[in-house]
């Protein structure tokens, strides 16, 4: 076996390859790619320009070429495909599975895409046109049309014949989907059952109709991911509103959905507004970061304005200012923690929703405990360092209130965002920090005004 | 087809179910579970006590029971299994796939686990003992022993016979793994190939030996997930150091690894130290949050001490204090953004590592642009509001430096953590915020001291 240990792209390999490319040394290029898997060639291409990448791909067999382009991430591919002619694109797309073909067409300028669709093989064309109707974030946009379909009235032999016919179009499948005469999904037959059953048996007699989970075309990609994860499915049939089988989604597409979701959430949590990577341009990186930094700046300027209202107190007792960072940092940390726990439970639904009040009561209990603990520590330290000044008590009292309020806001914000259809993870980032900074400051200075 | 739309557990259903349970109305319990999939019964059980859950499970067929217990999350299961006798556990574990059996045994107290292992069916026992050797975070700990193995010298008929023999033990498989006489992995034969090939053909002649990716037992679960994602695999064979086939990992296990990873990262980013959920106890929720809150408190107390050094300046110009929140919030936001971008590129390896210097140069360019932009805005606003005071210029200068330094630290921290074997995502949470709070304050007051 040609054992494939995960390929590591060394800088030596890259430099060597670059040299071969510069010299247009086709033999050297092909030799160095000989033992490299398509998925790894994709990774390699990220290191080269579109023109260079195309030069390499044109040397490879067209199936490998299609596979490599399929693996590229969407942004890179969009840029890369610009160096291709419509005729070349057509050849490529004819080789792809329908779901990948539709994705690729979506990345082309509309004029090119129309031209390519016109040139496609008729069968591919009709499949692709059917898929292009769907938004890319729903089951219809994730599914592929290639699947093995059998009528319930067929025998196992007929089924195997159908597999033989389709085997070239559907390289990977784990089950045959069984439909009735009007194309309505009835159930599935696992491949191993076909192998083990007498060839004259009717499909309807070995049909597994229990536990066949299907999804509808309009279901969101997140829901599809949840369903496949929950029921441990390697592929799921997609039906339209009439219950007719229209496609299938495989687990590898869903793995991508899950990974993208995690990535998106990380970006929301860290205040990055665009899908940006370290090796994107300086300008793109700057642009992705500015919006939330600006929100922070606005918050900071409002804090400055607000503290200005207490100029007299500050002038009288400078030490008031010393504890502003303490109050704000704690408010921020508590807020993020609380919102993150809520975001997590919103992302793993399924259990009976606790009522809002029960939820808040619990959050407040946790906050009460944390608040008591933290303010006692701070009080102890302050009494030790600064002696029994009124300010020591005020700081701890304000800290306690900040923990309570920040928990409350941290819990409520994602719930509200979720209710209004926004991604609740938005509430785990600079948004909640900025709100809690202002909140903390307000509580602190109001306590001072009331008690000092 | 019994269509399974994702089951939604309503509070009516739960209450109705609870009533049937209280009355020990077995017929009503079974009736209400009739159309519910095992995965959904698992979700339902989270609503009830261990004793109640056991009561329900004892009414169900033992295969369903095993499947439901397999689906439980590890923490809940650990608590739940305490109400089971060793004999009952043995019956359960005999029904599970070897990987799930090993997971379950790992969750038992060592004494119970030893007792159960002694009672297991001999075949199950030897498989499970083999798996228990591995850490749960490596390929060996993820893999199951159940697989269909064929010798390369067999014919397709012999292969199908083997499948027939194994079909009960291995309910889900997509390929037959081919080994030589000394058990070394040679390649795979896809199921559809078995269906389509003449029964007298030798396995070695239809063997797919290209592109067969395998993983070694000691490979980390994250690496396994990367490999399966990259090569779009639905199952991957596991080999030992001698290249002998010892097990297989299926994509559903890896989907769990990917989800857990995302969860873990979210917790690190939000400063939660234990794997905690909203419906865990108040005390567990409190405990999970305290450590990072304490770090924040220590940072805040250090800030207070530090600002104390500048008491004279603060007493002279109170407005200095106004801009502390602005400086700190920006430092925190910039730090998190920077570290998050690095964490992301560390999580998606594969491209040639840019040198550290090139990386930092880029980060500093981005910071330069952001810093210039933000400090210009703040300067403009300050000049408008507070007039041309020296402090207005000092705030903007400090802000600019803070953006630069926070970017720098935000980039370096995850790289350093990663180098020393810690999870770099640690650097996206309260850790980086606390460091940057202190850093921002230091820069601000040093600027003031130098220029005011």
What confidence tens digit (pLDDT) does each residue in B406-434 have? 999 998 998 888 888 888 887 777 888 88
Residues B410 and A289 sit within 8 Å (Cβ to Cβ): no
Give A348-352's long-range contacts (Cβ < 8 A, gap of 24+): A348/B277, A349/A226, A350/A230, A350/B9, A350/B43, A351/B9, A351/B43, A351/B46, A351/B47, A351/B279, A352/B9, A352/B10, A352/B11, A352/B14, A352/B47
Tell me what the pLDDT averaged over chain A comes to: 87
Identify the pLDDT of residue B154: 92
Residues 6+ apart with CB under 8 A from A117: A105, A125, A128, A129
Mean pLDDT (whole number) for A316-345:
89
> How close B212 comes to chain A (CA, Å)?
7
Identify the pLDDT of residue A446: 93
Tell me what the pLDDT averaged over chain B comes to: 87
Residues A424 and A343 sit within 8 Å (Cβ to Cβ): yes
Q: Do B271 and A333 touch (CB under 8 A)?
A: yes
Burial label for A91, CB within 10 Å (0-12, 13-18, 19+), is middle
Identify the pLDDT of residue A229: 87
Select from B223, B229, B342 the Cβ nearest to the Cβ of A255. B229
3-state secondary structure of A304: helix
Higher per-residue pLDDT: A343 or B375: B375
A contact residues 285-314, partner B, Cβ 8 Å cutoff: 285-286, 289-290, 292-294, 296-297, 299-301, 303-305, 307-308, 311, 314
- What order of strands is seen across the sheet that includes strand B175-179? B149-151, B175-179, B185-190
| B236 phi/psi in degrees, rounded to 5 | -130, 135
Identify the pLDDT of residue B85: 92
Residues 6+ apart with CB under 8 A from B305: A322, A385
Q: How far apart are CA B234 and CA B27, in angstroms?
A: 40
Residues A286 and B369 sit within 8 Å (Cβ to Cβ): yes
A contact residues 104-133, partner B, Cβ 8 Å cutoff: none
Distance of CA B244 to the CA centre of its chain: 29
B contact residues 214-253, partner A, Cβ 8 Å cutoff: 214, 223, 226-234, 243, 250-252
- Chain A interface test: which of B214, B226, B270 (most A C-beta within 10 Å): B270
Superfamily of chain region A149-259: CBS-domain (3.10.580.10)
What are the tens digits of pLDDT across the range B75-124?
888 888 988 999 999 999 999 989 999 999 999 999 999 999 999 999 88
Identify the pLDDT of residue B362: 84
Q: Which fold would CATH assign to domain B149-255?
A: CBS-domain (3.10.580)
CATH class of B11-135: mainly alpha
What are the tens digits of pLDDT across the range A386-430?
888 889 999 999 999 999 999 999 989 988 888 888 888 877 778
Closest among A168, A149, A172, A177 to A236, alpha carbons compared = A177
Which residue in the block uniquely carries the two structure tokens 């196992």? A156
Burial label for A390, CB within 10 Å (0-12, 13-18, 19+), is exposed
CA nearest to A161 within chain B: B196
| A328 phi/psi in degrees, rounded to 5 | -70, -45
Domain residue limits, chain A: 11-135, 149-259, 282-451
Residues 6+ apart with CB under 8 A from A44: A9, A14, A17, A36
Q: Which fold would CATH assign to domain A282-451?
A: Tetracycline Repressor; domain 2 (1.10.357)
Confidence of residue B210 (pLDDT cuts 50, 70, 90): low
**What angle (nearest 5°) sits at the alpha carbon of residue B100, between those of residues B99 and B104?**
120
Higher per-residue pLDDT: B274 or A295: A295
Residue A451 backbone zone (phi > 0: left; psi -120 to 50: alpha; other: beta): alpha
Q: ipTM above 0.85?
A: no
Residue B372 tokens, joined: 């210039």
Give B222-229's long-range contacts (Cβ < 8 A, gap of 24+): B222/B257, B222/B261, B223/A6, B223/B139, B224/B139, B224/B142, B224/B249, B224/B254, B224/B257, B225/B254, B225/B257, B225/B258, B225/B261, B226/A6, B226/B349, B227/A6, B228/A255, B228/B254, B229/A252, B229/A255, B229/A256, B229/A259, B229/B254, B229/B258
Higher per-residue pLDDT: A353 or A86: A86
Residues B423 and B449 sit within 8 Å (Cβ to Cβ): no
- Polymer length in residues for chain B: 452
Closest among B25, B78, B91, B88 to B50, alpha carbons compared = B78
Residue A22 tokens, joined: 């510069």
Residues A202 and A155 sit within 8 Å (Cβ to Cβ): yes
From chain A, pick out residues whose CB is under 8 angstroms from the CB of B293: 330, 333-334, 337, 370, 374
Residue A276 tokens, joined: 């940006």
Distance of CA A346 to the CA centre of its chain: 15
pTM listed for this prediction = 0.80
**What angle (nearest 5°) sits at the alpha carbon of residue B334, between those of residues B413 and A403?**
95
Alpha-carbon dihedral angle through residues B393, B397, B398, B403, given to the nearest 10 degrees:
140
Which residue in the block uniquely carries the two structure tokens 């700057």? A286
What are the tens digits of pLDDT across the range B128-177?
998 998 988 899 999 998 888 899 999 998 888 888 887 777 767 778 89
What are the tens digits of pLDDT across the range B153-164?
999 988 888 888
CA nearest to B224 within chain A: A6
Closest among B239, B421, B380 to A301, alpha carbons compared = B380
Confidence of residue A7 (pLDDT cuts 50, 70, 90): low
């Amino acid at each position: 076996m040609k054992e494939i240990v995960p390929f590591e792209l060394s800088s030596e390999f890259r430099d060597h390859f670059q040299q071969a490319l510069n010299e247009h040394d086709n033999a050297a290029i092909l030799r160095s790619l000989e033992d490299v898997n398509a998925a790894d060639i994709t990774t390699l291409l990220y290191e080269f320009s579109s023109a260079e990448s195309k030069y390499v791909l044109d040397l490879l067999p067209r199936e490998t070429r299609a596979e490599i382009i399929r693996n590229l991430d969407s942004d890179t591919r969009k840029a890369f495909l610009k160096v291709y002619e419509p005729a070349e694109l057509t050849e490529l797309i004819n080789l792809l599975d329908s779901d990948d073909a539709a994705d690729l067409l979506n990345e082309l300028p509309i004029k090119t895409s129309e031209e390519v669709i016109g040139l496609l093989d008729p069968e591919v064309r009709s499949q692709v046109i059917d898929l292009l109707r769907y938004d890319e974030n729903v089951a219809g946009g994730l599914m592929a049309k290639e699947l093995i379909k059998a009528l319930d009235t067929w025998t196992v032999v007929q089924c195997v014949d159908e597999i033989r016919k389709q085997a070239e179009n559907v390289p990977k499948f784990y089950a045959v989907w069984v439909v009735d005469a009007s194309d309505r999904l009835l159930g599935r037959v696992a491949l191993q059952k076909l192998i083990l059953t007498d060839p004259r048996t009717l499909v309807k007699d070995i049909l597994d109709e229990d536990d066949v989970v299907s999804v509808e075309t309009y279901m969101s990609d997140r829901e599809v991911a949840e369903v496949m994860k929950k029921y441990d499915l390697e592929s799921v049939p997609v039906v339209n509103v009439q219950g007719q089988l229209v496609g299938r989604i495989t687990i590898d597409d869903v793995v991508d959905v899950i990974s993208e979701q995690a990535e998106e959430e990380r970006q929301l949590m860290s205040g990055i507004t665009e899908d940006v990577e370290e090796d994107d341009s300086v300008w793109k990186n700057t642009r992705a970061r500015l919006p939330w930094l600006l929100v922070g700046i606005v918050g900071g300027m409002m804090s400055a304005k607000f503290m200005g209202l207490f100029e007299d107190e500050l002038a009288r007792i400078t030490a008031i200012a010393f504890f502003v960072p303490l109050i704000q940092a704690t408010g921020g940390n508590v807020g993020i923690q609380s919102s993150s726990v809520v975001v997590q439970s919103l992302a793993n639904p399924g259990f009976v929703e606790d009522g809002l009040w029960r939820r808040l009561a619990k959050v407040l209990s946790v906050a009460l405990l944390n608040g008591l603990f933290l303010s006692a520590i701070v009080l102890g330290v302050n009494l030790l360092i600064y002696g029994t000044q009124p300010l020591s008590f005020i700081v701890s009292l304000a800290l306690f209130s900040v923990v309570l309020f920040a928990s409350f806001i941290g819990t409520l914000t994602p719930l509200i965002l979720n209710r209004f259809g926004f991604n609740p993870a938005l509430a785990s980032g600079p948004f909640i920090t900025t709100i809690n900074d202002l909140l903390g400051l307000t509580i602190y200075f109001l306590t001072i005004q009331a008690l000092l």
